[in-house]
Chain A
Amino acid sequence: GENVEQHPSTLSVQEGDSAVIKCTYSDSASNYFPWYKQELGKRPQLIIDIRSNVGEKKDQRIAVTLNKTAKHFSLHITETQPEDSAVYFCAASIYGGSQGNLIFGKGTKLSVKP
């Protein structure tokens, strides 16, 4: 089955710096890769996702890149702000298939220091 590895487990940056979180997946059939942000005590919220027919997607300060050949995808946050502090989870699944469950990485705790 699918396995998703996520690195680093913790990341500390200064406000204004960039943050990068990387994930690898094992199942070449996976074609949908969402990223969730979970603030302390709150629900995981989708912040961006990408499907395997594109290599990059941006939304303001957030971008995700996908390398299908290498089976890895990354989350990039530019100009980090204290409110970006949270746990970020990457995930993989098969879009449009009969099995819709997400396979998650172990999460990255991002701390943005003012």
Chain B
Amino acid sequence: EAGVTQFPSHSVIEKGQTVTLRCDPISGHDNLYWYRRVMGKEIKFLLHFVKESKQDESGMPNNRFLAERTGGTYSTLKVQPAELEDSGVYFCASSLQRGATDTQYFGPGTRLTVL
């Protein structure tokens, strides 16, 4: 089966610009998570969707970040306006229904560089 895919793989933008990251989870996975790894530190949770609903967005850094999951399929994460500290690798992960299995399958990540 196809794994989690993310687009783009790399993005270089200037401070103040807008960037939109996309994640396509494994087909049939209700749970979709966004994580971020900044400058070699730990992978940090951003938010969790169950189908199209935001289950937990406690990890979102501030209101410059907006995540959507229209129709409960793919998800987008928009950063507007981008700041230097937003640079890092953004990972998406998906898992099957809660209680069935908690294995989270990760995408390859999007490396975001804000200049």
User: Whole-angstrom distance between the alpha carbons of A36 and B31 in the complex?
Assistant: 19
Give the chain A neighbours of B31 by CB distance below 8 A.
100
Inside 8 A of B40's CB, which chain A residues have their CB?
107
Q: Does chain B have a CB within 8 A of A96?
A: yes
Q: Size class of B's contact patch?
A: 20 to 34
Q: In the complex, what residues of B have CB within 8 A of residue A89's CB?
A: 42-43
With A101-B56, A107-B42 as given contacts, are A32 and B102 in contact (CB-CB < 8 Å)? yes
Flag if B102 contacts A36 (CB, 8 Å). no
Q: Give chain A interface residues in 40-60, CB to chain B under 8 Å.
A: 42-46, 49
Q: Mark A1-25, 1 if CB is under 8 A from B, else 0.
A: 0001000000000000000000000
Binding site for B on A (CB under 8 A): 4, 32, 34, 36, 42-46, 49, 89, 91, 93, 95-107
Which residues of B are in contact with A by a Cβ distance under 8 Å?
A: 3-4, 31, 33, 35, 40-45, 48, 55-56, 59, 91, 95, 98-99, 102-109
A-B contact pairs, 29 of them (CB 8 A): A34-B103, A34-B104, A43-B3, A43-B107, A43-B108, A44-B91, A44-B106, A45-B106, A46-B103, A46-B105, A91-B43, A93-B102, A96-B102, A98-B55, A98-B98, A100-B33, A100-B98, A100-B102, A101-B59, A102-B33, A102-B35, A102-B45, A102-B104, A103-B45, A104-B42, A104-B43, A104-B44, A105-B42, A107-B40
